Structure 1
């Protein structure tokens, strides 16, 4: 056992950590995503990537505080105007044509 306490490790996925803070707990985020708390823990630790289809759920649950672009910056996201969506630019959509061209 070390005599010197280790500083807390920063989460591997700070955006998931932010979503957890905004929602109050990992269990609440798991509920929003219809996934297990263990799944959310793996996302937080960076042990698994955030699936594309969950990004809009996280964005909506966090009222736009955590965006799809932050969660998956390597994906080409487009916005469709939607006044009911919390992000001012609208609902996020994936550009599947761009994804197909990159493959």
Structure 2
């Protein structure tokens, strides 16, 4: 099976959003639970999902994904323009 043969779809507010990784769906869901959608809207929620996922993929540690997603959601304004490695360093230390 090729990577692009797998897709996870989420229906949210009448629209469907598709992800290649289950971790992306988890991050999307976490963003909704954290109130990210209410604060920033769907476009920023999708950016947040991608940003957290990129940090997750670049992490050399056993990432506590929920905690990382919470951290980025709570600190979005100050972390959104930082490189992933810098965000991870701030998150762990």
TM-score by length of 2: 0.30
Structure that is richer in helix per residue: 2
TM-score by length of 1: 0.28
Q: Which has the higher contact order (CA 8 A, sep 6+)?
A: 2
